[in-house]
Amino acid sequence: MSFNALVYHEIRDDLPTEPQSMTALKAANNYSIGLPPALFLSIADFTQQMTYLVEENFYFLSMQDIRQYYEDGIELPEKSIFISFDDAFQSLYTTAYPILKDLGIKATLFVVSGWLFDETSDVNSSCSQVMSWEQLNSMSDVFELANHTHHLHTLVQPGVNSLMTATFDELKADLDQCQAYVQHQDTFAYPFGFYNQEVVENLKQLGFNYAFTTQVGPNNQATPTLELNRTLVYHQMPFERFKELVHAKTQ
């Protein structure tokens, strides 16, 4: 049986209004980049999607379920879905977390540990602000945590992130810093979805067994576990398209 994986970023209603507009990142390490509208989803759309999954009796996968599927050959329920978030923005804490908790949905958060703030601040709707450590730690009843780098979540040029230019020692040092804060020491998500085979081999050497891309499609036993598919749920995705994605199966 195959499974689908979804990734979300910002869940909020004060969305970018122009197709080409970018929302500034506000992170503790002062890394600066603009987030495109595709990474935003309205509260109503997110609520509709999660409610649909619950009403349709989807099974929400944990990383332990995925490990048992690949390592022990344990079959997954027919409607299996892996819900994930990247980057730990404030809106995850203020908006998505209460919705998921209310619906009884478990999810995985890929954390950029160098982006989190030591102090909690008021919601800042003018930017995409990362949450605080206190906020992150308060969501453990819903979220498992996995590695999304410490400082290497940076864009070097279009299609190239810092993982792809770092030396092996630089990569190890960075990922080790994030490992100190996450439960799943063998699980990773590629920043911006960018990677190459050298990065895949480096992750393997560092003890990672699972890594998620942003490629669209289901995963089955034949899918390389360091190149697992994970579909971005984008801004204003038609609900019919969402339903197609979550019901997709490998042939």
Q: Over the stretch 146-160, which tens digit does the pLDDT of each residue have?
A: 999 999 999 999 999
Q: What is the mean pLDDT of residues 68-87?
A: 96
The structural domains of the chain, with segments of one domain joined by +, span 4-247
The CATH number fitting domain 4-247, selected from 3.80.10.10, 3.40.640.10, 3.30.70.3270, 3.20.20.370: 3.20.20.370
Query: pLDDT tier at 63 (50, 70, 90 boundaries)?
Result: very high
- Does residue 18 register a pLDDT over 80? no
DSSP for 170-236, please give it: HHHHHHHHHHTT-SEEEEEE-GGG---HHHHHHHHHTT--EEE----S-B-TTS-TTSB--EE--TT
